[in-house]
Amino acid sequence: MSEANDHRRRFMTYCTEILLAGLSLLVAIPAIGYLLAPLWKREGAEAGFIDMGRLADLPIGEWRLLALEMVHQDGWKKAKFRHSLWVRRKAASDQEVTVLSPICPHLGCPINWHPDRSQFVSPCHGGVFDAEGRYIAGPPPRSMDPIEFQVRAGRLLVRWQEFKIGVAQRVPVST
Amino acid sequence: MDNEHEQQPAVEPKPQPGFWESRTGWSRLKQLLLLEPLPGGSRWTAAFGSLLLFAFTLQVITGILLTTCYAPSVETAWPSVKYIQEEVPLGGFIRALHHWGSSAMVILLLFHLIQVFVWGAYKKPREFTWMVGVLLLFCVLGLSFTGYLLPWDQKAYWATKVGLGIASTTPVIGDSIRSLLQGGPQMGNLTLTRFFTIHAFILPGLIIFLIVVHLYLFRLHGITPSWWESGAQLEAKQEPFWPRQAWKDGVFALVFLLGLGVWCYYQPAPLEAQADPSQPYEARPEWYFMFLFQLLRYFEGPYEIVGTFVLPTLFFLLLLFWPFLDRNPQLKPRKRPLALGLLSGGTIGLIGLTIYAIATDVRMREPAIAVVQPPVPTEPAGLLQRADVAKLYNANCAACHGVDGSGSQIRQGMPTIPDFTSLTWQMSQTDLEITHRIQDGNEPLMPAYRNKLGERQILALSIYTRAFAVGSGEALPPKPVPPPPGPVTAQMSPVQIYRAYCLACHDADGRGNTVRKAMPDMSDFTDPKWQASRKDEELLHSILEGKGKFMLPMKDKMGKADAEKMVAYVRAFQEGKQVVKLEPQPPVVPPAPEQPAIIPGPKTPSGPSPETAARMRVAASLYRQYCLICHGADGRGLELKASMPTIQDFTSRTWQEGVGNPQLAVSILDGKGTLMPAFRGRVGEEQAQDLVAYVRAFGPFRPATSEPPPGDFEKRFRELQDQWRELQRQLQELSAPPRKP
C-alpha cells in the first residue's frame, strides 16, 4: 500500500468520524433538549390563598392537623393534591394563629405533634421541635417552616408553600 | 474466516494488548464489525440498508422520548399527546420526527425491497436474508398500524376500528384475533395498553432480533455483486467497511436526517379532536395503506374477504417465498423478464392504486374541513325558518344573553355583555361585525361558534340579534345599565350561579324541601350526615355530569373551576348556615320598549301596553328562575320528558285549550301532581297570573291582552328581509372561491 493511499485513508477516516459525530449530535441535541425539559420549565403561578374553614371552629391553644386541597396543573391535566398543616389558635383574636408546615426541614418526613411532651417530633430521624416549632434537637438544620396565612371574615386562609429541605436557610421551592 | 484474517493487511499492529484490549477484546470486535472486507468495495447503492437501520434507530430514540410523557388510557392518551405537542419544549418536533419518520421508513423499505429484487439479491444462497427482510417489512407495517391508535384522536380511533374489522374477517379465527388485539369486546383502555405494548416492546424487540439475523446473514454471504461485474473484478476492488462505506452511509443518513428535520419543522404531526365514537367520521388509513382501502372498494358482499384476507395473505406468502418460486439463476435483469415484469407490474399497481385512492377520495380533497374541524352540525335544507332561528338562539345564546336579548340576567357578572335591545348598541354594530363576533367569538367571554354552527345559522342569528331592537321604533334614551357592583369578575359568582341553576329545586336554604315530595332523593345540603357522606369529587361529578333522573348535567353551563366553586358553595349550607337571597325583582316601571318575537317563543310581537310589557318581563325572569330548568326555554319540557313523562308541553294546542287560567295559577301556587312543586311564597298571586300569561304565550294563541301592532313591525321586518338577502349575498361571495386561511 502506497504512502499516498495510506494518507488518503487516514483522511477519509477522519472525515467519517467527524460526519458520524455530527450526525449523532444532530440527533442527540433535540433528544437531550426534550429530556431536560423539566429543568427549564417556567415556574407556576404563585398559589393563592385557600380557605381552611372558620377560625371559630378551632379550639384555642391546641395544635390541629388540617388538610387542605389544592388544584395543580399536573402534566396534561389539572389534579387535586392534598396537603396538611399544623394550625393552632393561641387566643380568640384573629391574628393569634400559628400555621406550620408539617414537612420536616431535615429530609421531608411528616412531623407529628406529641401532646404529652408538648413537642413536635419527626418520626424518621428524631428531630425535635418545641411547641412553637423551634428547633430543639436532632438532625434538622432549622426550625419548622411557618406558612403564610390570612384571616378574612372569620375564616382562615393559607397559602401553601414548600421549602427546600436539608439547608439552614428557608428557601421557597416553586411549585 | 480465519483465512481472511490472515490475508488482511495488518491495519492495527498489535504488539501488546493494551488496558482496554486485554479486558474487552474490542479490536477483535472492531475487526469483525468494521474491518471485514467487502468484495467490490464501498458503493453508494449499498447505503439504503444502513439508511433503514438509521431510520429505525431514529424511531427508537424518538419513541423512547415520547413514552416519557405518554399515558396509554382512554382518559389520558389524547391529553398527554396534546401536552407533548403543545407544552413540552421540542415535544411537537420530536413527535413530528416520529410520525413522519414512520412514513419515511415505509418509503425506504419499498426502495430497499425493489433494489434487492432488481439486483437479484434474494437468489441462492441469500433466500433467508430475503425472507427475514420480508418479515421485517411486515413488522414495520405492524408498528405503523399499532402506533396509529396511540394518540386516541378521531383519526386513530376510526382507522383502528376499521383495521380491526379487517382483521376480524380472517376465516375461523377472525373474531378471536380482534378480541385478542382489542383486549375485549370493545375498543377502550385495554386496546390502548395492548397496542402500546405491541408498539413499544413486542414489535421493536422482534425487529431488533430480526435485524441482527438479517445483518448476520448479509455479512455471511457478503454483498450481492452487480450483474455487470465479474468475480475477479470484485476481488480486485475489495475494501473494508470502514471508513469508505461508513462515510457513504453517513452522508445518506445526514441528507435523510436534514430532509426529515426540515419537513418536520414546517409540518407538525397532525392531532385531531379526541376520539368520540358518537361523532360521525370518515375513517381513512394512513396513506401507505390507502391501496388496501381502495382495493376493498372493489370487493363487495361475500367477496369482501378476497380484499381483506385472501389477497393480502397471498401477497405476503408470495413475497415471503419468492426466492423459492423464482428459480431462474440469472442475475441480469434482461434474462429475468417474468420476475421483473411482476415487480414493475406490482409496483405500478400499488403506486397507481394509492394515487388513485387519494385522488378520488372526496374527503382527501378538502382535508382542512374533514380533518381539522369537528363535524359541522347538519343544517336543515331549505330556508331557515324564524322558529328554527329562535330555537337556535335559545339553545346557544339565551344562557348568557337572556331570552329577551338584554343580557341583564348576568350583567352583574359580565359587565361587558351587550344589550341587544339597546338602539345605541345596535347602531354601533355593522351586520358583518355581529356575524364575525358570533363566528370567531370575542375574548374573553364570548365563545366562537365557528365549529358549532353552520354559516347560514350564524348569519341567521345575527339577523335575529337585530330583531331585538325591532319594537323600539324611534330613538329611545339608552336603558340605564346598573353599574357593576364590586370587582369586575370574569365569571358569575357562585351565588349567581346558584340562583340561576340550582335554586329552583334546591331552594334558597339548600334543603330542597319544596320538591322533595316529587323527588324523594333530593339532597338536603344542610344535613351534616349527607355532607360527610359525599366527597368533593363526587359532588363535582354530580354537578358536571348530572345525577339520577332529575339532576341535570351542568357541564355545558359551567367550567370545572366554577363547578369547584359550587361544591364549596354547597358545602357552606351545612347546618343551615347559609341562605341565598332571592334576586330582587325588577320594579315594574313603565314604559319600556316592547320586545320582538323572542319572548318566549317564535312569535311575532304585537305591542301590548307598556305596563303589560313590563309585567311580562318580570314574568320572564320568574320563569327563568323557577320554571326553565324543567320546562325548558321553549316551554316544551323536552329535556326532562324522559324522567317526567307527565310534564306538559306548553306549545301544545290541546293542552292550552284544555286548561283554564285559574287552574294554571293554582298549579303554580300550590303545585300539581307529584312533580310540580308549589311556588306559593316564592311567587306572589299577581305574579302567578303573569306567569300564566307567560305560559299562554308559548301556545298557538296570542294572549288576549295583545293588540294588533302598527305597520311599524311590517316595515321593520321587510328591512330585515333585505338585510337577510344582503347577508346571503355576502355569504355567497365568501364561499364562492375557496376560503383562504
C-alpha cell at B271: 392531532
pLDDT, tens only, B209-260: 999 999 999 888 887 878 887 777 777 788 888 888 899 999 999 999 999 9
Exposure letters B343-378 (e unless 16+ CB within 10 A, then b): beeeeeebeebbeebbeebeebeeeeebbeeeeeee
Same domain as A120, residue A58: yes
> Lowest mean pLDDT: which of B208-217, B328-337, B675-684?
B675-684
Note whether A42 contacts B: Cβ–Cβ < 8 A.
Answer: no
Same domain as A107, residue A89: yes
Same domain as A88, residue A54: yes
Closest by CA to B47, choosing from B216, B260, B251, is: B251
Q: How far is CA A113 from CA A68, A109, A143, B350, in A?
A: 18, 13, 14, 75
- Please count the helices (runs of H) and the strands (runs of E) in chain B: 37, 2
- Distance between CA B353 and CA B287 in Å, rounded? 11
Q: Which of residues 109-148 of A touch B (CB under 8 A)?
A: none
pLDDT at B122: 92
Fold of B496-576: Cytochrome Bc1 Complex; Chain D, domain 2 (1.10.760)
Confidence of residue B98 (pLDDT cuts 50, 70, 90): very high
Confidence of residue B91 (pLDDT cuts 50, 70, 90): very high
Q: Which residues of A touch B79 (CB under 8 A)?
A: 76-77
Spans of chain A below 50 pLDDT: none
Stretch B348-376: mean pLDDT, rounded? 64
Note whether B243 contacts A: Cβ–Cβ < 8 A.
Answer: yes
Note whether B88 contacts A: Cβ–Cβ < 8 A.
Answer: yes
A–B interface: beta-carbon pairs under 8 A: 76
Question: Domain for residue A22, yes or no?
Answer: yes
User: Is A16's CB within 8 Å of B62's CB?
Assistant: no
Same domain as A133, residue A64: yes
- Distance between CA B142 and CA B160 in Å, rounded? 12
Q: Give alpha helix (H) positions in B173-269.
A: 174-182, 189-197, 203-221, 231-236, 246-266
User: Is A51's CB within 8 Å of B568's CB?
Assistant: yes
Confidence of residue B396 (pLDDT cuts 50, 70, 90): confident
Note whether A31 contacts B: Cβ–Cβ < 8 A.
Answer: yes
Minimal-distance CA residue of chain A relative to B255: A23
Give domain B36-372's CATH number out of 3.20.140.10, 2.10.10.90, 1.20.810.10, 3.40.228.10. 1.20.810.10
Q: How far is CA B578 from CA A110, A156, B330, B651, in A?
A: 36, 18, 94, 38
Note whether B91 contacts A: Cβ–Cβ < 8 A.
Answer: yes
Question: Domain for residue A151, yes or no?
Answer: yes
Note whether A12 contacts B: Cβ–Cβ < 8 A.
Answer: yes
pLDDT at B366: 41
If you search the block for the grid coordinates 374541513, which residue do you land on? B369
Q: Complex ipTM above 0.90?
A: no
- Distance between CA B107 and CA B492 in Å, rounded? 56
If you search the block for the grid coordinates 470484485, which residue do you land on? B234
* Min Cα–Cα distance to chain B from A36, Å: 9
Q: How far is CA A30 from CA B255, B263, B551, in A?
A: 17, 15, 51
Which member of A15, A31, A51 has the closest CB to residue B61? A31
Quick check: helix, strand or coil at residue A51? strand
Split into its structural domains, chain A has a count of 2
Question: Domain for residue A45, yes or no?
Answer: no
C-alpha cell at B156: 386513530
Same domain as A140, residue A65: yes
Same domain as A139, residue A111: yes
pLDDT, tens only, B266-324: 999 989 888 888 777 777 888 888 888 888 888 878 888 888 889 889 999 999 999 99
pLDDT, tens only, B41-57: 788 888 889 999 999 99
Residue type, B256: F
Please provide the DSSP assignment of B77-126 as one string.
HHHHHHHHHHTSTTHHHHHHHHHHHHHHHHHHHHHHHHHHHHHTTTSTT-
pLDDT at B30: 84
Minimal-distance CA residue of chain A relative to B244: A12
Q: Which residues of A touch B87 (CB under 8 A)?
A: 76
User: Is B76's CB within 8 Å of A76's CB?
Assistant: yes
Closest by CA to B417, choosing from B458, B447, B445, is: B445
- Distance between CA B643 and CA B47 in Å, rounded? 70
- Distance between CA B721 and CA B726 in Å, rounded? 9
Q: Which residues of A touch B58 (CB under 8 A)?
A: 27
Note whether A29 contacts B: Cβ–Cβ < 8 A.
Answer: no
Which member of A23, A40, A71 has the closest CB to residue B250? A23
Same domain as A34, residue A120: no
User: Is A26's CB within 8 Å of B94's CB?
Assistant: no
CB A143 within 8 A of CB A135: yes
Same domain as A124, residue A86: yes
- Distance between CA B705 and CA B700 in Å, rounded? 15
Q: Print the domain residue range for A21.
A: 3-40
Q: Which residues of A touch B247 (CB under 8 A)?
A: 12, 15-16, 19
Q: Which residues pair with A121 in a beta bridge?
A: A112, A128
Around A20, how many Cα atoms within 13 Å sit in the side-chain half-sphere? 15
CB A157 within 8 A of CB A147: no
pLDDT, tens only, A21-66: 999 999 999 999 999 988 876 555 566 788 888 888 888 888 999 9
Which member of B61, B65, B253 has the closest CB to residue A23? B253
Note whether A37 contacts B: Cβ–Cβ < 8 A.
Answer: yes
Same domain as A89, residue A121: yes
pLDDT, tens only, B423-464: 778 877 777 778 888 887 775 677 778 777 777 788 888 888
- Distance between CA B54 and CA B250 in Å, rounded? 9
Same domain as A21, residue A86: no
Q: Which residues of A touch B80 (CB under 8 A)?
A: 75-76
Q: Where are the domains of chain B?
A: 36-372, 496-576
Q: Which residues of B touch A80 (CB under 8 A)?
A: 536-537
Q: How far is CA B281 from CA B78, B185, B289, B612, in A?
A: 17, 21, 18, 51
Can you give the CATH number for the domain in which A84 is found?
2.102.10.10
Q: Which residues of A touch B97 (CB under 8 A)?
A: 30
Q: Which residues of B touch A30 (CB under 8 A)?
A: 90, 93-94, 97
Confidence of residue B550 (pLDDT cuts 50, 70, 90): low
Note whether A1 contacts B: Cβ–Cβ < 8 A.
Answer: yes
> Lowest mean pLDDT: which of A135-139, B340-344, B691-695?
B691-695
Sequence-ordered strand ranges (E) for B229-372: 239-240
pLDDT at B437: 80
Stretch B481-501: mean pLDDT, rounded? 55
Residue B608 reports pLDDT greater than 60: no
* Min Cα–Cα distance to chain A from B250, Å: 6
Note whether B58 contacts A: Cβ–Cβ < 8 A.
Answer: yes
Q: Which of the two residues, B267 and B493, has the higher pLDDT score?
A: B267
Same domain as A144, residue A62: yes
Around B119, how many Cα atoms within 13 Å sit in the side-chain half-sphere? 17
Note whether B254 contacts A: Cβ–Cβ < 8 A.
Answer: yes
Same domain as A115, residue A85: yes
Closest by CA to A51, choosing from A160, A173, A175, is: A160
